[in-house]
Amino acid sequence: MNSQDLNLIIKKLLYKSKHRGCKETDLILGKFAEEFIFSMNSTELTEFTKILEQNDADIYDWCSGKIPPPSSLNSKTMHKLLEFSINIIK
């Protein structure tokens, strides 16, 4: 993947992180993306893309600790998001 492709992917993921339709997930995912997306490798970007494909209510429930994320989303990126979101939600 060349740098132009990577920049386009990152721009799209940043947008999707910040414009979800639910203020709570906009805040959590947007701040997470701003802090970590530029240092993510291709595997982590793929993992983050899969997280962003989920609905907002589920993401918020995972991040707030209400329910655990499904095993299909068990990844380094998900664990990082859950750890990060603890400070945002409190």
Decide if pLDDT at 78 tops 90.
Answer: yes
Which pLDDT tens digit goes with each residue over 53-63? Answer: 999 999 999 99
**Nearest C-alpha neighbor of 34 from the set 73, 79, 88, 90:** 88
* H/E segment holding residue 84: helix 76-89
Domain extent at residue 25: 3-89
- Split into its structural domains, the chain has a count of 1
CATH of residue 30: 1.10.150.250
CA dihedral over 62, 65, 66, 72, signed as positive or negative: positive
Which pLDDT tens digit goes with each residue over 7-50? Answer: 999 999 999 999 998 999 999 999 999 999 999 999 999 999 99
| Amino acid identity, position 17 | S
Whole-number pLDDT of residue 45: 96
pLDDT band at 3 (very low <50, low <70, confident <90, very high): confident
